[in-house]
Amino acid sequence: MFLAHVDPLQASIFSSLAVMSLLLTFVMLGSHWLRNYVYAFAVQSWLIAALSASVGYFAGYPELYVIAVLTALFRGLVLPYLLMRIIARLNVKRELHAVLQPSSSLVLGALLVMFAFVIANHMNRQPFLAAHVVVMALTIMLSMKFLGFLMLAVRDEAVSQILGLLVLENGIFLGSQILVPGMPLLIEIVILFDLLIVVACFGMLVRFLVVHAGTTSSRQLNRLIG
Amino acid sequence: MAESLLILLFAAPIVAAVLSFAVRSPRLAEYATVAAAVLDLVVSVPLLLQVLGGPATLAHNYIRVDVLGAWVIVCISIVYALASIYAVGYMRLLDEDERLPVFYGLFSGFALTMLAACVMNNVGVFWIAIELTTLISTFLVGFEREAESTEAAWKYIVVVSGGISLALLGTVLFYWGGSLVLGPSYAMTWAALHKAAPSVYPPLLLVSFLLVLVGYGTKAGLAPMHTWLPDAHSESPAPVSAMLSGALLNASMLGIARFLSVVRGTSMDGFAHAAVVGFGIFSFFIASIFIVRQTGIKRLMAYSSVEHIGVQALGLGFGGTLGVAGALYHMLNHSLNKSLMFFGAGNAMRAYGTKEISHIRRVLDVFPISGMLWLLGAVGIAGAPPFALFLSEFTVLRAGIGSPYRWAAVAFVVLLIVVFIGFLAHFRAMYFDKAPGQQIPRLAGGVWRTLPMWLAFIPLLVLGLWWPHGLWQVFAHISQELMGGAQ
């Protein structure tokens, strides 16, 4: 594993990129405006692309450059564009009924990050010095999972839910760049394309929701219970 | 030989899907789908026999069929064949001829992705195949385009995508754990994971396994991640419900079985099995509560699927040859029986124009023959002899009594009785309670809708009376595969 020989400069580059991505998740969590979510998501994707490129450079995996370009292109440009189109079509600008106020969801999010850290700390047993990078990568991976699920749970708008799912996937992607840069290229490329299909499907479904269910807020999707 | 069978297996649904989308003729799409499905069924059995002699590989080892994969392929092909025959009769009732080619195209695509999942040797590609099943079937769930079905489709894709992303995280962590043993870059095959697992740091292994279990468990409908299932199963057209319940759940169970076999023999073995048993018994518990209080006919069937996926999880969790054999036999029997149940429910829904159990009365007056089959199917799915589910549930129970989880076996028996009473009480009301008075429009049986019910019922009865020795050999082989790791 390349992290065994990582020097402090590299470690701090990886850490700062990863931590900034985590902070952007908090930006999404703390805002009501759908547009802000999309911007934060786009920037987060660019940071992940930068992370891929730097891991590729320092650890000597040239194929990660391809991943970096594709990430920036798909997650940083195409997906935000598609999401913006959905938002424009829906004519919804912000979350109307927050289950939790942004301030309380921030506090809850912080607690979840601590929980993620506890788990990550238990999972790691690396003897070398840069072990803190491993723990940090695991922590951020898990906390973006938790935060994504938190967004899914407390947000009603269809677009927020799509973004929640994308945050879940961004977390995995970010962690896997640091932990397993040697993961076969094919898998990562297919997962990227897969995301594109996911968002396209969601786009179509959102249209169905408007036409047939008359709402894009999951609060009103309450016909099926029991 | 096995390779050409495999190519045929995948070519058939591809051709059917392409024809449906390209020609846009509803009749052609129907017949092409039925032909492809029947061909798949015919091909899947010799494929199983072939791989008994040794696994077949294709495409640089990305595709590998072992006996377990081939067995799930047989189960999926059976449901695909039955459901596409039934779909011909059922979908014509919807009066949406112009959208039928799209339906059949997606239908074959759905079958294709499930079959593909069974043969994927790369753990990452397996995840992708399972994810694709969700994306395609979402549009089948929402096909009727009413408020309810759109809502079900939305909940389905959000819940399942969220769940399945946990499985991806678990897969990445498995790969990471392996990379500390096998070196930074290796092919992520099931065999490689088997090799690496004993040397992986145990807490990491456990977290990875639990993530994968929850992820694929969401897709398989294990409680408490089952919340999408009753909505999706009840709101989709009846043939799609049968595919979701009889085929898709099996494909996800396959993932759980394979990962469970990866952790077997490590120090986390006991925890992993206990977790699977726990999810199994909890699913059974949740299902039994909702079955007793259910008011919708297809939701009743859906919760019964949660129950039976719980039985399969119990079988795998109890382990041993007996447990694995019981779980796999149950998979086949449940596929047959649940198809029969959804077909009957589809007929009743169309005839009475309602999904409410309380509005469906005197079924035998409307459907003398298929109604009888449906009633017998209900007796079977509640777990009564002489039908096949009795045998497989009994086998799982025997495995449970011999395992360390005897408490689960006891709970299993109690819950089985609850489900038996609750499920059949609904059927007693539907068949023998007084008619509500209004005139029920008669819906002619229709060969397309009755034939698949017979085709599901006859093997169900035969397999209940006679457990073929050949099947036992298949199960013994699979359980050896699972316990000994990949050869």
Q: Convert the pLDDT of each residue in B187-203 to its tens digit.
A: 888 988 888 888 888 88
With a CB cutoff of 8 Å and minimum separation 6, the contacts of B403 are: B318, B319, B320, B323, B409
pLDDT score for A200? 72
Whether the per-residue pLDDT at B107 is higher than 70: the answer is yes
Whether the per-residue pLDDT at B380 is higher than 60: the answer is yes
- The answer as to whether A225 is a domain residue is no
Contact assignment for A182 to B180 by CB distance below 8 Å = no
pLDDT score for A208? 73
Residues 147-176 of B with CB under 8 A from A: 147-155, 157-158, 161-162, 165-166, 168-169, 172-173, 175-176
Determine which of B156, B169, B212 to mutate to test the interface with A (most A C-beta atoms within 10 Å): B169
Query: How many angstroms separate the Cα of B212 from the Cα of each of A50, B166, B254?
Result: 29, 6, 12
pLDDT score for B139? 87
What whole-number percentage of chain A has pLDDT above 90? 21
Whether the per-residue pLDDT at B367 is higher than 50: the answer is yes
Task: Give the least confident one: A138-152, B204-218, B253-267, B438-452.
Answer: B438-452
* Burial degree of A203 (CB within 10 A; 0-12, 13-18, 19+): middle
Q: Which residue of chain B comes nearest to A193, CA vs CA? A: B128
Calculate mean pLDDT across residues A164-173: 88
Report the residue from A152, A183, A190 with minimal CB separation from B162.
Answer: A152
Cα–Cα dist B437/B431, whole Å: 15
CB B311 within 8 Å of CB B330: yes
Handedness of CA B153, B155, B161, B164 (dihedral sign): negative
- The answer as to whether A32 is a domain residue is yes
Whether the per-residue pLDDT at A129 is higher than 60: the answer is no
CA angle B75, B471, B221 (to 5 degrees): 35
Q: Which residue, among B147, B125, B151, has the nearest Cα to B138 in the 3D structure?
A: B151
User: CB of A14 within 8 Å of any CB in chain B?
Assistant: no
pLDDT score for B438? 64
- The answer as to whether A145 is a domain residue is yes
Whether the per-residue pLDDT at B439 is higher than 70: the answer is no
With a CB cutoff of 8 Å and minimum separation 6, the contacts of B230 are: A224, A226, B290, B299, B302, B303, B306
- The answer as to whether A147 is a domain residue is yes
With a CB cutoff of 8 Å and minimum separation 6, the contacts of A141 are: A120, A171, A172, A174, A175, A176, A179, B169
- The answer as to whether A179 is a domain residue is yes
Query: How many angstroms separate the Cα of B236 from the Cα of each of A32, B242, B285?
Result: 34, 9, 25
Cα–Cα dist B248/B76, whole Å: 8
Q: Which residue of chain B comes nearest to A4, CA vs CA? A: B180
Containing domain of residue A44, as a range?
Answer: 7-220
Determine which of A145, A163, A183 to mutate to test the interface with B (most B C-beta atoms within 10 Å): A183
Rounded to the nearest 10°, the torsion over CA A140, B209, B216, B422 is: -120
Cα–Cα dist B67/B59, whole Å: 18
Report the residue from A145, A149, A180 with minimal CB separation from B179.
Answer: A180
User: CB of B106 within 8 Å of any CB in chain A?
Assistant: no
Whether the per-residue pLDDT at B329 is higher than 60: the answer is yes
Cα–Cα dist B37/B453, whole Å: 16
- The answer as to whether A226 is a domain residue is no
Query: How many angstroms separate the Cα of A85 from the Cα of each of A28, A92, B396?
Result: 19, 11, 52
Q: Scanning the structure block, which residue is given the tokens 């699927």?
A: B305
Query: How high is the mean pLDDT of chain B?
Result: 90
Calculate mean pLDDT across residues B215-221: 94
Q: Which residue, among B430, B398, B402, has the nearest Cα to B413 in the 3D structure?
A: B398
Whether the per-residue pLDDT at A2 is higher than 70: the answer is no
pLDDT score for B486? 42
pLDDT score for B69? 93
Neighbours of B209 (CB within 10 A): 25
pLDDT digit string (tens) for A179-223?
Answer: 888 777 666 776 777 777 777 777 777 777 777 767 777 777 777
Q: What is the token pair recorded at A40?
A: 């934060």
CB B241 within 8 Å of CB B301: yes
pLDDT digit string (tens) for B30-53?
Answer: 999 999 999 999 999 999 988 888
DSSP label at residue B441: P
